Structure 1
Amino acid sequence: MARQSYQDQLQEMQEDVLYMSEVVTDRLRMALEAMEQKDDETATQVIEGDDEVNDLYLDLEQTCIDLLALQQPVAGDLRLIASSFKIITDLERIADLAVNLGEYTLDAEQDMFPEVDINVIGDRTVEMVEDAMAAYESEDTERCWELADRDDELDALCQTASESVVRDLIETEVDDDTTEGEIEGLMQDVSRMLLTIRDLERVGDHAVNIAARTLYMVEKDDSLIY
């Protein structure tokens, strides 16, 4: 009976990790939608909702600690708990990046860089996080390797977008009639867009981290951990 209870605790922990991932990906989608629609209300909801994610993280952290301390797991169970602990850390950081996007939306004053499609980059990062968590749920190691390859594609996409922003800045004409306020506003817009691209790239990195921990959990293979 005690052993069954322990296995129930492990299953409940995994279900809670998956629930946290659903909350986080939902917040990320909301942040991207707010940025696209310039929706300050939704952006504010993302920012204010970060406390809920932090509470989920702390509860799961305690669950992992209790399982390690009280059950003294070994082998596969130990890797499951340790990997889950690492994964919730990545999820909490993804939520923080979603908050960043919400703050960028509130700070933005005008629509710039139409040639940079943030939604395309954003959609790819959301898909990567969802696929990483699906791999965790189903112990799909093949999908873990695929995510690492997709991250290279995301990095290239982000680099192209960043270069486009910088090129636009270089080509922007500034004359004697341009005020210091206009120049400062331009630089803030450029900085905000570059930070947006960087943060989405980091979301992809966290998705790969989740895949790496899943691969280690299932096969004790640390090849993707870096």
Structure 2
Amino acid sequence: MARTEYQQELTELRELVLEMSDLVCHRLKQALEALETKDDGLAEAVITGDHEINERYLEIEQQCVDLLALQQPVAGDLRFIAASFKIITDLERIADLAVNLAEYTQRAERDRYGDVDVGYIGERTVEMVEMAMAGYEADDAATAHDIAATDDEIDTLCANASEVVVRSLIDVETAAAETERVDEDALLEDVWRMLLTIRDVERVGDHAVNIAARTLYMVENDDDLIY
């Protein structure tokens, strides 16, 4: 493969990763909207559309393997290909989390936790993913630590939200002890679903940090944020 063709392959790899990230963020936004509006049809679109993201993942994975096997890249090119492969893995897992959120939407029959603003937390995590991918696109590692700091804020928001849910459970159980008018199975299902929702939104932020960490390593050979 001529050098020019090789560089074109690297450029194409970056473009494919960015296209995948656009699709994943779109699916995640749809899942969050479905969760907010209780739109089962939109939730189903997220679930059934996951196969497209899986196919893109496999396509990009194969391109990474071919570049590594045929070109034996070194230094910056090697870090770029390796980072791209790790990033699409995080993107694929974010898409899986979007599917989880869509499935929670379909299982929800009521909105018991009006004080828990999952939509806001979700929007913040989408912004983190988009910011991390912008850094990858521009070979800009400067925002990597900012994304990690934002994740600390997301962790706090999620911890507070989980506490609200648990306290609500305690309050309802206390009231039930006096009135005996509570459907315990339905209550526990709501609690479990909401805790899983909060957990999965938080995990999106974790994957955004992973993407930023790989970009930092790719650009500056700095593994400070990789864990």
Look up the match of 2:75: 75
Corresponding residue SS for 2:115: coil
Residues 98-130 of structure 1: CA distance to partner in whole angstroms, max 9, x if unpaired? 000000000001111100011110100100000
Q: How many residues align?
A: 224
Write the distance in 1 (CA, Å) between the matches of 2:140 and 2:54: 28
Quote the offset at 1:139 in angstroms: 1.5
Deviations 1:30-55 (A, max 9, x none): 00000111000000000000000000
Q: Provide the residue aligned with 1:210 in structure 2.
A: 211
Residues in 2 aligned to 1:217 and 1:67: alpha-carbon distance in whole angstroms? 16
Aligned pair 1:178/2:201, yes or no?
A: no
Q: In the alignment, what sits opposite 1:125?
A: 125
Query: For 2:148, what is the secondary structure of its paired residue?
Result: helix
TM-score of the superposed pair, with normalisation by structure 1: 0.97
Q: Tell me how far apart the structure 2 counterparts of residues 183 and 190 of structure 1 sit (CA, whole Å).
A: 10
Partner of 1:21: 21
Aligned partners of 1:121, 1:149: CA distance in 2, in Å? Answer: 15
Structure 1 residue 194 and structure 2 residue 195: aligned?
yes
SS at match of 2:176: coil
Amino acid aligned to 1:134: A
Which position in structure 2 is the counterpart of 1:39? 39
User: What residue identity is the alignment partner of 1:113?
Assistant: Y
Matches within 5 A, 1:159-170: 159-170=159-170
Equivalent residue of 2:109, what SS?
A: coil
> 2: CA distance between counterparts of 1:140 and 1:12?
19
Mapped to 2, the partners of 1:141 and 1:76 lie a distance apart of: 14
**CA 199–113 in structure 1, closer or farther in 2 if over 3 Å, else same:** same
Supply the distance in 2 between the matched residues of 1:150 and 1:109 (Cα, whole angstroms).
Answer: 32
Counterpart CA distance in 1 for 2:128 and 2:154 is 10
What aligned pairs does 1:6-155 form with structure 2 within 5 A after superposition?
Answer: 6-155=6-155
How big is the alpha-carbon RMSD for the aligned residues of Structure 1 and Structure 2?
0.9
**1:221 deviation in Å?**
0.3
What is the identity, as a one-letter code, of the residue corresponding to 1:185?
A
SS, match of residue 222 in structure 1? coil
Return the letter of the residue paired with 2:207.
H
SS in structure 1 at match of 2:206: helix
User: How far did 1:178 drift?
Assistant: 2.5
Tell me, what secondary structure is at the counterpart of 1:174? helix
What residue identity is the alignment partner of 2:198? I
For residues 28-80 of structure 1, the C-alpha deviation after alignment (integer angstroms, 9 at most, x for no partner) is 00000001110000000000000000000000000000000001111000000
Q: Which amino acid aligns with 2:53?
A: V
State the TM-score, normalized to the length of structure 2. 0.97
Instruction: Report sequence identity in percent.
Output: 63
d(CA) in 2 for partners of 1:178 and 1:65?
60
Q: Structure 1: 5+ residue runs without aligned partners?
A: none
Q: CA deviation at 1:141?
A: 1.3
Is there any run of 5+ residues in structure 2 with no aligned partner, and where?
Answer: none
